[in-house]
Amino acid sequence: MKVKTMTEPAIQTENLVKSYGSVEVIRNLSLDVPRAQFSAIVGKSGSGKSTLLGLISGLETPDAGRVLLNGTDIFALDDKGMAETRRRQIGIVFQSFNLVPALSALENVLLPVVFDDRLSKAEYEVRAHDLLSRVGMEARASHRPGALSGGEQQRVAIARALINQPAILLADEPTGNLDETTAAGVFDLLTGLTRDIGTTLLMVTHDMDIAAKADRVFEMKNGKVEQ
């Protein structure tokens, strides 16, 4: 079994290529994302930032190249292995929250671990309540998304992304739909909680003030990346 070291990147991409029809969105893109740090991806709209995050998460499939998460080539895995990797190693925070309207805040947080047997249901519920408390949403645990503000929904989404204590957290414009004050609070929560558990945070953002706080910044231009 390969031993992971702190010097080995948490995320590596090698010569990634991704096209939609005749449009090449990602062009021979290679990058190394350090372990247990906050890295930001910046760039203009259409530069390929969200597509890159989709490839890293395994939600998109590259036309060529590799993605390695903690040394494992995720596209060499079968469907079961890929699903297991996403469920146990990756957390994702979306700009649009993506909460299930019919479920309460607590039920939304528990959704990623419904089929996870590493802990009991009761133990996961304790963890979910703890996360909701840490993001200031314990009092709203029984509320459905429609009864929550945008900032409250994003806090629930952050708790959901952290329920499996992921090694890697991917955030796609997590403050993009929030006002300035709420965005600052969500950002502080996100970085604070990930650093508490040693998670590698990779965030796509248009906000240069947020990017300035990152340990490392990657700039996307025309489907390629510059550090």
**pLDDT above 70 (res 4):** no
* Cα(46)–Cα(25) distance, integer angstroms: 8
Instruction: Work out the average pLDDT over 129-143.
Output: 94
* 6 confidence band (pLDDT: 50, 70, 90): low
How many domains is the chain built from?
A: 1
Print the domain residue range for 172.
11-226
Residue 4 located in a structural domain: no
Residue 33 located in a structural domain: yes
* Cα(135)–Cα(157) distance, integer angstroms: 10
Distance, C-alpha 31 to centroid of its chain: 17
| Residue 80, number of CB atoms within 10 A of its CB | 8
* 5 confidence band (pLDDT: 50, 70, 90): low
Instruction: Assess contact for 203 and 38: CB atoms under 8 A.
Output: yes
Task: Give me the pLDDT at residue 37, please.
Answer: 93
Task: Give me the pLDDT at residue 177, please.
Answer: 80
Task: Render pLDDT for 81-121 as a digit per residue (tens, 0 to 9).
Answer: 998 898 889 999 988 889 999 999 999 999 999 988 889 99
Residue 6 located in a structural domain: no
Task: Render pLDDT for 18-76 as a digit per residue (tens, 0 to 9).
Answer: 999 999 999 999 999 999 999 999 998 888 999 999 999 999 999 999 999 999 999 99
Residue 175 located in a structural domain: yes
CATH number of the domain encompassing residue 38 = 3.40.50.300
* Cα(18)–Cα(205) distance, integer angstroms: 21
Task: Give me the pLDDT at residue 67, please.
Answer: 97
Task: Render pLDDT for 193-223 as a digit per residue (tens, 0 to 9).
Answer: 888 888 999 999 988 889 999 999 999 998 8
Task: Give me the pLDDT at residue 10, please.
Answer: 96
Residue 211 located in a structural domain: yes
Residue type, 99: L
Residue 29 located in a structural domain: yes
Residue 3 located in a structural domain: no
Q: Which residues contact 84 (CB under 8 A, 6 or more apart)?
A: none
Residue 1 located in a structural domain: no
Task: Give me the pLDDT at residue 3, please.
Answer: 46
> What residue spans of 44-179 are helical by DSSP H?
49-57, 79-89, 105-110, 121-134, 150-162
Task: Give me the pLDDT at residue 1, please.
Answer: 42
